[in-house]
Amino acid sequence: MYIPISIMNKNGISFVVAIVNIKFLSGKIESIFIMNYLKNAFSGIPIVLVAKDINGRTKFFGRLQIVKLIRSENFNKSTWVRHNVQY
């Protein structure tokens, strides 16, 4: 499975944003699995998962401090790469 990944830096904090299917945010086990996988892949850099719910609202899962920073971020301006996740 390939997911879009962007490494960002805001207010001196580096973190990884991963755009995932909403199913990864709807179950705690799925969220923790993908977070742990990405933490290992990105050497412990904080991870934030982002998904759209069925109503088109953006949902976040990750460190609250970072979620607050990026809640109104326009992700279209970010540089993205496809990362292969073994699920």
For 32-69, what is each residue's pLDDT tens digit? Answer: 888 888 988 888 899 999 999 999 999 999 999 999 98
Model confidence at 87: pLDDT above 70: no
Residue 26: C-alpha distances to residues 2, 11, 83 (Å) = 19, 29, 21
Q: Which residue has the tokens 């699995």?
A: 33
What would the DSSP string read from start to end of 47-75? EEEEEE-TTS-EEEEE-HHHHHHHTT--G
Model confidence, pTM: 0.88
Q: Residue 17: name the closest of 30, 34, 26, 27 by CA.
A: 34
Contact 50, 18 (CB under 8 A): yes
Across the range 63-83, mean pLDDT stands at 87
